[in-house]
Structure 1
Amino acid sequence: MAHAAVRPALPDDAAEIARIQYDTWRAAYTRILPASVLDGLDVGAAEASWREAIDDEATLVSVAMEGSWTVGFCVVGEAPAAETADAAGTPAPDAAETGLIATLLVEPRWGRRGHGGRLLLAAGEQLRARGATRGITWVPIADAASLAFFKTAGWAPDGLSRTLDTGERTIRELRLTGGLDFHVVE
């Protein structure tokens, strides 16, 4: 394997991040997302959104590299209080110290090479540096690979789920939570 690393994303990475998102969703989420959603993905619009996210100081975007190839990315930031809330809508007592892993994707052809673990390790470091003591993320129930990945990292469902409406079907997601002291997860 070539040298593998994680680094902060730069505005010039936006196109590659959008491509990875597009390719990964089309390869790994065909059973989760309706075909119309996948067919409607606009890589140009996604690139513009990723460029904005990279430029936003509240959001930390990192990319995983293998040699000169960008193979994955992760987006973290402060968890909005509503994202930490219980079923009654009451924010968690530690909402101000809760970070959000909004997205962590590794292109499937680069999977099982430690890139997800390195991204997770960097996410934990970034969130701790911003004062977070724990993190949350939302994962579709049908995404067994991501659920297993976070479980291996010590995260678990906290009992809350949500339903997203795609217009054609609904997607159930579990909220996972855990500490931010990660060790590399292969």
Structure 2
Amino acid sequence: MADAEVRAATPADAPEIARVQLSTWRSAYADLLPAEVLAGLDEAETTRQWTEAVAGGPVAVLVATEGDHLVGFCAAGAAPEQEAAAADGAVPPDLAEVAWVSTLLVEPRWGRRGHGGRLLATMAQRLADGGAARGISWVPEADSVSLAFFEHAGWSPDGTVRTLDAGGRPMRELRLTGPLDLDLH
């Protein structure tokens, strides 16, 4: 494997982050999202959103590279109340110490090379250094690859489920939670 690293994203990375997101969703989520939803994803708008996020959004964005290729990314920050709340709306007593991994994607052709683990471990360390004690992430219930990845990291479903409207098709997501002191070897 060529040199692989994880680093902080810069605004210049936004077009590649958008490309990775869109290509990953179009391949990995082809069975989860309607074709018209995937076809309607706008690369220019996605790039604009990532440019804003990287330039000063409420989350930190890291990218994984292999050689000269940007192959994946992770966005995370303090968990908003609505993401961390219980199904009945109760706010967890440790909300101030909960981090939310909102996105972690590795382009499928670069999968199984350790990029996801490096991204999550590096982000988890940054979040822990910032005072977080545990992380949460929402994963589609039908995304067995992502569920297995997070399980390997020591994260598991906390019992909270939500159903999103994915272009007229319901998509159930499980909220996972776990430690930030990761050992992904």
- What TM bracket, shorter-length normalisation? over 0.9
Q: Distance between the aligned counterparts of 1:97 and 1:58, measured in 2?
A: 16
Q: Distance between the aligned counterparts of 1:114 and 1:167, measured in 2?
A: 32
* Other-structure match for 1:176: 176
Residue 107 of structure 1, CA deviation: 0.2
Residue 57 of structure 1, CA deviation: 5.0
Residue 166 of structure 1, CA deviation: 2.1
User: Where do 4+ consecutive residues of structure 1 move more than 3 Å?
Assistant: none
* Other-structure match for 1:105: 105
User: How is 1:7-156 mapped onto 2 (pairs within 5 angstroms)?
Assistant: 7-156=7-156
Q: Secondary structure at the match of 2:31?
A: coil
Contact 1:136–1:176 (Cα < 8 Å) also in 2: yes
List alignment gaps of at least 5 residues for structure 2. Answer: none
Q: Distance between the aligned counterparts of 1:42 and 1:57, measured in 2?
A: 20
Q: Distance between the aligned counterparts of 1:166 and 1:179, measured in 2?
A: 30
Q: Distance between the aligned counterparts of 1:135 and 1:86, measured in 2?
A: 15
Q: Distance between the aligned counterparts of 1:50 and 1:110, measured in 2?
A: 21
Q: Distance between the aligned counterparts of 1:170 and 1:137, measured in 2?
A: 19
Amino acid at match of 2:92: A
Q: Secondary structure at the match of 1:33?
A: coil
RMSD (Å) for aligned C-alpha atoms: 0.9
Contact 1:105–1:116 (Cα < 8 Å) also in 2: yes
2:139 counterpart of 1:161: no
Of 91-100 and 51-60, deviating more is 51-60
TM-score, with length taken from structure 2: 0.98
Contact 1:117–1:184 (Cα < 8 Å) also in 2: yes
List alignment gaps of at least 5 residues for structure 1. Answer: none
TM-score, with length taken from structure 1: 0.97
Structure 1 residues 48 and 57: CA distance shift in structure 2, 3 A? closer
Of 68-77 and 54-63, deviating more is 54-63
Q: Quote the sequence identity (%).
A: 57
